[in-house]
Amino acid sequence: MLKIIRKIDKPLFFITIIMFIFGLLMIFSASYVKAITSLGNAYYYLIRHGIILIICMFVFLFFINIPSSKYKKHYKTIVYLSIALLLALIPFGITVNGAKSWLHTPFLNFQPSELAKIAIIVYMAVYYEKHKDNKDDYRLALKPFVLVIAICIIIAMQPDLGSALIIFIISALLFIGVPLLPTVKKKIWSKIILTAIFGVAILAVLFVTGKTGLYEYQLQRFNFLKPCKRYTEVGTGYQVCNSYIAINNGGLFGVGIGNSTQKYLYLPESYTDFIFPVIIEELGLIVGIVIIFMYAIILYRIIMIAKSCYNLSQGLICYGVAIYILVHIFINLVGVLGLMPLTGVPLPFLSYGGSYSLCLTIALTMVQRIKAETEITKQEEKLKNKIREI
C-alpha cells in the first residue's frame, strides 16, 4: 500500500483533503441553527458528516489497493449491481423530498443513483477499451447507451430527474473522448441529434396538452426566472431569492464565519444544495472565487493524469471522473444562481451528504490508483531503456 500511496498525485490528494475539511466546517456553520431548533443538538450534522469523512478515509485505503485491471474484469458486474440497487428501491426504497431514491442502512440512507454515476463511467471506459479495434462499427459504439438510457429511465421514475440528467450528460461528454473514426462519429451524432429532436418534440406536445407526467413541484422548477417576484414560502423562487440575499449580504469579505442570517431557516437546505451562498455570505466573494480556483486545480490535475495514461480505459475513467465533478459543480452553482431549474445536486466536497461523499471518494481514489500505476509503468520503462543501453 505504501508503495502505491507514494506514487499518487500529492497536490490533488492534499487539495481534496483541504476541501473536505473546509466543507465539514461550513456544514457545521450552515446547519447548527436547524440542528438545534429541530433536533436539539447543534452538533448533529457536524458529527454525522465527520463520521462520513472518517468512513471516506477507510474507503480510500480500501480502494487504493484495488488494481485498475480489476475494473476490466468486473465492469459488467459493477454496472449490473448499480442497476439492481436502483431496482431494489421499488420495494425497499424510502421517500425523501418527494423521491423514492434512498435505501435505508444502519449507518446512513444510501442513494444508489450516486453509485450508478461511477458505475457507468467504469462501464463505458472498459467497454470502449475492449472494442477499440472496432472503430468503424457505430452499433457497437452506441451499445453502452442502451444501459445509460435504462438507468436514466429507472432514476427518472423515482422521480429524480436531476440525477437522470447528470448521468446522461456524463455519458454523452465521456463519449466525446472515445477515439472513433470521423465517419462513425458523424453517423452516431446524427442519430443522437435526431433522437433529441424527437424527444424535445414529444415533450413540447406533452407540455402543450398538460400531460407531462411531472409532479407540481417539478413543474414549478421550470419557472426559475425572476425568482424574487415569486417570493413565497413554497417553490424555487423563495429558495433562489434567499440565495441572492445571502450573496448580496456577503459582499467581498463576508459578515464573518457563523454570522450568516439566511441560514436562520430563511434559506432551505443551507447545508446541502445551498451551502455556496452561505459560504459567500459568511466569508465573502473572494473566498467564493478561491473555491472556484480550487475546483479548477482539482479538474486540471485529473485531466493531466488522464493524458498521461498508457491505455484507453484508464484515461476514460479519469476523464469521466473530471466530468462527474464538473457537472455537479456547474449544475449546483447555476441552479442556486437562478440560471437554470433547481435539481437538488450537491456541491462537491462542501455539501452535506453521505452517498455523494462516499462515491466522490471512490471516484477520486480510482484516479489516484491510475496515477500510481502510470508512475510505476514509467519507472519500469526507464529501467528497461537503461538495461537496453547497457
Q: Is the pLDDT of residue 45 over 80?
A: yes
Question: In the predicted model, is pLDDT for residue 245 greater than 60?
Answer: yes
Residue with the larger pLDDT of the pair 2 and 84: 84
Number of H helices, E strands in the chain: 15, 3
Residues 168 and 148 sit within 8 Å (Cβ to Cβ) = yes
Look at 31-45, 68-82, 264-278 and tell me which has the smallest mean pLDDT. 264-278
SS3 102: strand
Mean residue pLDDT across the chain? 85
Q: How confident is the model at residue 236, as a pLDDT?
A: 54
Q: What are the pLDDT digits (tens) for 311-364?
A: 899 999 999 999 999 999 999 998 888 777 777 789 999 999 889 999 999 999
Instruction: Please compute the mean of the pLDDT values over residues 247-257 and round it to a whole number.
Output: 89
Quick: pLDDT tens for 19-39. Answer: 999 999 999 999 988 889 888
Mean pLDDT, residues 367-388: 86
Measure Cα distances from 180 to 58, 137, 252, 299, 303 in Å.
39, 9, 47, 25, 20
Q: What cell numbers appear for 197 in the block?
A: 429532436
Q: E strands along the chain, which residues? A: 94-96, 99-104, 109-110
Beta pairing partners, 109: 104
Cα 104 to Cα 95: distance, rounded to the nearest angstrom: 10
234-259 average pLDDT score = 81
Q: How large is the average pLDDT for residues 119-144?
A: 86
Determine the average pLDDT of the residues in 257-277.
Answer: 82
Neighbouring residues of 179: CB distance < 8 A, sequence distance ≥ 6? 132, 135, 312
Residue with cell 474507503: 59
Ranges of each domain in the chain: 2-389
Give Cα 199 distance to the centre of its chain: 25
Q: Which three cell numbers stand for residue 116?
A: 450508478
Q: Which residues pair with 318 in a beta bridge?
A: none
pLDDT band at 134 (very low <50, low <70, confident <90, very high): confident
Of 390 and 112, which is predicted with more confidence?
A: 112
The predicted structure's pLDDT at residue 16: 96
pLDDT of residue 72 exceeding 80 = yes
pLDDT bucket at 241, cuts 50 / 70 / 90: confident
